[in-house]
Amino acid sequence: MSRSWLGLCLLLMLASALLAWQVQGWRYGRQLAEQAGSHAQQMRQQAETLAGQLLAERALRRDLQQRLQASESRYFQELSNAQQTQARLRDRLATADLRLSVLVERDSACATVPAAGAPGSVDHGAVRARLEPAHARRIIAITDFGDRGLITLRACQDYVRELTR
């Protein structure tokens, strides 16, 4: 009998060990499942946060692109207007509809012109010398180049301001 008791004790010990092992496995499995669920929840929250940040960045980028597009079209229009004005001025010079002139100092070559009109005469005002058409065209070309440069510089400065804002 002692052998059967010993076998029964061993069997009970083995069964209790297997039962304890199974219970520990269930607990450990439940803890792992809870950790996995917690980790998945954290990852989901991080993904949602990152998605929100990405949408905010996209909105900022879209806004910047729209402002830059508006600025670009405004400066393109300004440049186009300046070019049209210069073209009209060149056309008026070419048809002799307009003559460019410069002020001449009274003390220089035109010293014979009176400074003020006499009581019964007409006052001619400032003395002016007309420029030859070729010189006038060169001056217009230089001012056109300068106008384009200033418009382009202003556009670049606004572009940099928009990017740094």
- For the chain (length 165 residues), average pLDDT per consecutive 10? 82 92 92 94 96 96 91 91 88 77 66 52 66 83 88 90 83
The answer to whether residue 37 sits within a structural domain is no
Based on its alpha-carbon atoms, the radius of gyration of the chain, rounded to whole angstroms, reads 46
In degrees rounded to 5, what are phi and psi of residue 132? -65, 150
The answer to whether residue 8 sits within a structural domain is no
The answer to whether residue 19 sits within a structural domain is no
d(CA 117, CA 125): 9
CA distances from 107 to 72, 101, 123, 128 (A): 49, 18, 17, 13
Helix or strand (DSSP H, E) at 64:
helix 2-94
The predicted model scores a pTM of 0.51
The answer to whether residue 30 sits within a structural domain is no
Domain that holds residue 98: 45-110+126-165
The answer to whether residue 74 sits within a structural domain is yes
The answer to whether residue 31 sits within a structural domain is no
The answer to whether residue 90 sits within a structural domain is yes
Domain count, the chain: 1
In degrees rounded to 5, what are phi and psi of residue 52? -65, -40
